[in-house]
Amino acid sequence: MPRQLPEVEKAQIVSRIEEGWSIRAVAQLYNRNKKTILKIKQRWEQEDSLKRKIGSGRPKLTNPEQDATFLGYLRNNPFATVRDAVIDTAFPASQPTASRRVMKSELKCHPAAKKMFLNEERRQSRIIFALKYIYRNPQFWNRVIFTDQKTFQSTYNGQIRVYRPNNTRFEERYTNPLNSRPGCFSVNVWGWISVHGPGVCWRIEGRFNAGNYINILENILLPSAEQIYPNNTR
């Protein structure tokens, strides 16, 4: 919506007109529409006032109830788009108008966080682990195997955005639900690696519970590690 003209500028416009300037010349000088200059002239001549009447602007296209329904939809569905909210709530105005309603609310559009940063406890535990093994010799590391489990998830290309209040980035309901959208899936894998190179990458069927983990260690890790460490796996 165009900003209202300052009272000082309106007074200058009236002064120019009274000096004999044409509407067109004044409009060019102040970079305003000729209709705007004409309205100021008419208001001054008819009402002897430069002030805009209260409520004389264009009426809002929506009422408070419609705005509340629209914004409530985004609060309850933070990963929805403005277009989704407009359609699903039958919002009676355009998408740009809907976006302005969001901008005036506490909701802000941000890239969705994928995971929490390390907290202080986890950071300290990693430092302690590193300091404990920092002076180990190469012979020690030649016999070390690192294992890990990873979940690969499909999602749409591009950045996922979320509507949320400020300072709520890592609240669970606002973090990236990578596999929660229709058509997405996830694959759990387990693997190991050592100084000699990568070992086995194994797809985990079902849940990665204690029984599944023991089965992997006994039937996947040990047989594959014996090929590199034939005399040192037990």
Distance (Å, whole) CA 173 – CA 153: 18
pLDDT 10s digit of each residue in the chain, 234 long? 345 678 788 888 888 887 788 899 999 998 888 988 898 888 877 776 666 655 555 667 889 999 999 999 999 999 888 999 999 999 998 888 888 899 889 998 888 887 666 678 888 999 999 999 999 999 999 889 999 988 877 665 567 888 889 888 878 788 876 545 555 667 889 999 999 889 999 998 887 788 888 999 999 999 998 888 876 544
Cα–Cα nearest to 216, from 187, 233, 191: 191
Distance (Å, whole) CA 187 – CA 107: 34
Tokens of 150: 């990873």
Helix (H) / strand (E) element for 93: namely none
